Amino acid sequence: MRGETRPGLGGSAKILTAFFQRDPATVARELLGTFLAVGDTGGIITETEAYRPDDPASHAYRGETAGNRALFGKPATAYIYRSYGIHWCLNFVCGKTQTGSAVLIRALEPTVGLERMRKRRGVDEIRLLCSGPGKLTKALGITNALNGKPLNEPPFLLKLQPHPPEDIIVGPRIGITRGIETPWRFGLRTSRFLSRRFL
């Protein structure tokens, strides 16, 4: 996707849909450097992971269930699930409709609403506010109330970048036991706001 096809601000449903209606690994790379806000808090996406339905690590691998229904919804919507019974994790649905493809948002560089995020997290250090998928949902106030919601409408705001990011680091995905051979974790190489080092 070239710069002229991307919005400078916000994002119409049409443009966001076109952006997400592609392979999740491509979308995961190009989401790096984009600004994401939820309500009055947000930051720059620094780390993502791609999941495909034919991938044993994906929640879509065994087909649609009540719990993963949003993952089979429209592109450019949110899929939110509870992780380890404690945390919420945020995904963006990709591909053509009902494919079960998604990108997990793993880390942000916090830029907006820092005090609000510190309060929600109970942590002062800015580098720790959104440096993990469970941390960033807590900092942004995300719960499954936003599951299935479109990303072009409040409380979401996604500002795509005019150009795809450069200097991307790639590695194996985190915390999975199957599909570990597929290097679909992506990060901004020079960012100080990653969840963990890349291997």
Partner DNA sequence: TCGCCGATGTTCT
Partner DNA sequence: GAACATCGGCGAT
By CB under 7 A, name the binding residues for DNA. 49, 51, 57-60, 62, 65-68, 71, 82-87, 89, 91, 102, 104, 121, 123, 128, 132-136, 173-178, 195, 197
Closest approach, Cβ 124 to DNA, in A, equals 12
In the complex, minimum distance from the CB of residue 24 to DNA, in angstroms, rounded to a whole number: 9
Separation of alpha carbons 136 and 198, rounded Å: 19
By C-beta, is 6 or 103 nearer to DNA?
A: 103
Q: How near is the Cβ of 66 to DNA at its closest, in Å?
A: 5
DSSP for the chain?
Answer: --GGGS-SSS--HHHHHHHHSS-HHHHHHHHTT-EEEETTEEEEEEEEEEE-TTSTTSTTTT---STTGGGGS-TTBEEEEEETTTEEEEEEEESSTT--EEEEEEEEEEEE-HHHHHHHHT---GGGTSSSHHHHHHHHT--GGGTT-BTTSTTEEEE--SS--SSEEEEPPSS-SSSTTS--EEEETT-S--SS---
Least distance in Å: CB of 72 to DNA? Answer: 11
6 vs 53, which CB is nearer to DNA? 53
Q: Which lies closer to DNA via its Cβ, residue 75 or residue 133? A: 133
Compare residues 121 and 159 and give the one whose CB is closer to DNA: 121
Tell me the closest approach of the beta carbon of residue 180 to DNA, in angstroms. Answer: 10
Q: Which is nearer to DNA, 6 or 78 (CB)?
A: 78
And the tokens for 150? 């479109």
